[in-house]
Amino acid sequence: MSELRRLLKNAAVRGADYLEGLDVRSVAPDPAALDALASAFGDLPPDGTTAESVLEELDRLGSPATMGSAGGRYFGFVIGGSVPGALAANLLAGAWDQCAGMRIGSPGAAIIEDIACRWLLQLLRLPANAGVGLTTGATMANFVGLAAARHALLSRQGWSVERHGLYGAPEIEVIVGEQVHVSALKALGMLGLGSERVTRVPVDDQGRMLAEQCPPLNDRCLVLMQAGNVNTGAFDPAIAICEAAAQVGAWVHVDGAFGLWARATRQMDDLTHGLEQADSLAADAHKWLNVPYDCGVAVVRDAEALASAMAFHAPYLVHGENREPAQYTPEMSRRARGVEVFAALRQLGAKGVAELIERNCRQARHFAEGLRMREFEILNDVVLNQVLVAFGSDDETRSMVEALQRDGTFWAGGTTWKDRQAMRISVSSWRTTDEDIQRCLDAVDRVLTKNGCP
């Protein structure tokens, strides 16, 4: 066997051992493992070493220091694992090492991306001629969608923002819900639209924008709504917002980092209906589609607006009649992240994605019911994959979150919801089984008995 072959096989075997080991280790890394990693290396060594020993070192020191988020009992933030087909594709695409920004740089990667984008639109039931860009994540997908919005709203006023910038430009009014995600505000800041120069619309008890309290719209308004509140999982009312916007030519952007995937099933039409009317949407494939980090998806109904916002020209970069990946994202050179999207969709099929979404939502309800049966308060309507639970007073909740994280059976973080401390549980992995949920509830019982709290 050649050395390279042995090395890559070794990496694959170590990866498999790691993933299998997640079932029996603590989800959070042992503090001792973090210390060992942090103190293992001094200054940059002048001499190199073998690739084999780099791999051995990383596995020995790095693997125990990881968060077990690739396993079935990590419920922090909204993370998701990697479906096997997408992980394997990631390994293969690593070997390919394609520069996927330009078709001429990798015609094959561009074709795979074309297919992945077409399938994404079909899965999400969005217009087939919409523009799609594959970004690093939802922050950048929000950035891309909002850049297309900025382009379209200002070009209608006769202003090219790409050429002339925002100095002296007609004003755009940006309207957000009180519960807008920080990443969308960050994107507004990066676009010169201002993270604080926004009109905030009040929300209801689940964090949904109250459409009737939206200010009057016009064709210089950009409404930024969300599909999937990061705490409750609630959706802003898409039909009301999109219809009001369509009447006057306002632009609607949807931050649907995880919630947009609910469109893969028909079971949640009550939440997702109307989103197909939005002008631009952002989602995270590394969240609920369960592809490896990193991959976000930006969809813009007017593909021309997206391509104009991301356009670039150089004499040595000749654009053909086919879609150029880099015309749809900020980056030029980048990895071929369409490969994993392709692989996840190919492995699961439309039905498999729907089943994944439905199963995680059912598991979230089961988790919530189990906690409620133990007399804990569920603070949200569990309409999606998010559960907010309070274990008593704020102090009791804080100490329970810490104790559960230390116990290591599962990991979920703390949050504040309506001035109360809560644990935030997000079920977003293909690997989570019903038995995993039961193991988590057993852990809650065990930690309660041990701590005698609350």
Take residue 249 and report the two structure tokens written for it: 């030519």
Site for ligand PLP in 149-188 (CB under 6 A): 181, 183
Q: Work out whether 139 is an interface residue with ligand PLP (CB under 6 A).
A: yes
* Cα gap 63→98, rounded to integer Å: 27
Number of residues that bind ligand PLP (CB under 6 A): 14
110 vs 254, beta carbon nearer ligand PLP: 254
| Residue in the shown chain whose Cβ atom is closest to ligand PLP | 137
Q: Work out whether 360 is an interface residue with ligand PLP (CB under 6 A).
A: no
Q: Crossing angle of helices 394-407/434-451, nearest 10°?
A: 120
214 vs 230, beta carbon nearer ligand PLP: 230
Site for ligand PLP in 37-56 (CB under 6 A): none
CB of 294 to ligand PLP, least distance (A): 7
71 vs 256, beta carbon nearer ligand PLP: 256
CB of 296 to ligand PLP, least distance (A): 5
Q: Work out whether 230 is an interface residue with ligand PLP (CB under 6 A).
A: yes
Place of tokens 């709290």: 453
Stretch that binds ligand PLP, among 61-69, 80-88, 254-262, 435-443 (CB under 6 A): 254-262
CB of 440 to ligand PLP, least distance (A): 21
117 vs 224, beta carbon nearer ligand PLP: 224
145 vs 370, beta carbon nearer ligand PLP: 145
Spatial contact of 327 and 319, defined as CB atoms under 8 Å apart: yes
Judged by CB under 6 A, the residue of 28, 78, 283, 425 near ligand PLP is 78
Cross-strand bridge partners of residue 226: 255
Q: At residue 233, what are phi and psi to the nearest 5 degrees?
A: 85, 0
Q: Whose CA is closest to 331, among 192, 133, 96?
A: 133
Binding mask 268-307 for ligand PLP (x = CB under 6 A): ----------------x-----------x-----------
181 vs 301, beta carbon nearer ligand PLP: 181
* Cα gap 243→229, rounded to integer Å: 21
Q: Work out whether 223 is an interface residue with ligand PLP (CB under 6 A).
A: no
* Cα gap 117→119, rounded to integer Å: 5
132 vs 161, beta carbon nearer ligand PLP: 132
**Preceding peptide of 454 cis, ω within 30°:** yes
Cross-strand bridge partners of residue 422: 415
Q: Whose CA is closest to 225, among 262, 172, 279, 269?
A: 279
Q: Work out whether 380 is an interface residue with ligand PLP (CB under 6 A).
A: no
Q: Work out whether 137 is an interface residue with ligand PLP (CB under 6 A).
A: yes
161 vs 298, beta carbon nearer ligand PLP: 298
Judged by CB under 6 A, the residue of 255, 279, 324, 407 near ligand PLP is 255
Strands of 377-378's sheet in order across: 377-378, 386-390, 420-426, 413-417
Place of tokens 């592809």: 291
Q: Work out whether 257 is an interface residue with ligand PLP (CB under 6 A).
A: yes
Q: Which long-range contacts (CB under 8 A, 24 or more apart) does 64-67 make?
A: 64/25, 64/29, 64/30, 64/33, 64/36, 65/29, 65/33, 65/34, 65/36, 65/37, 66/18, 66/29, 67/27, 67/28, 67/29, 67/411
Torsion of CA 44, 50, 56, 62, to 10 degrees: 30
* Residues of the shown chain interacting with ligand PLP in the complex, contacts defined by CB under 6 A: 78, 137-139, 181, 183, 226, 228, 230, 255, 257-258, 284, 296
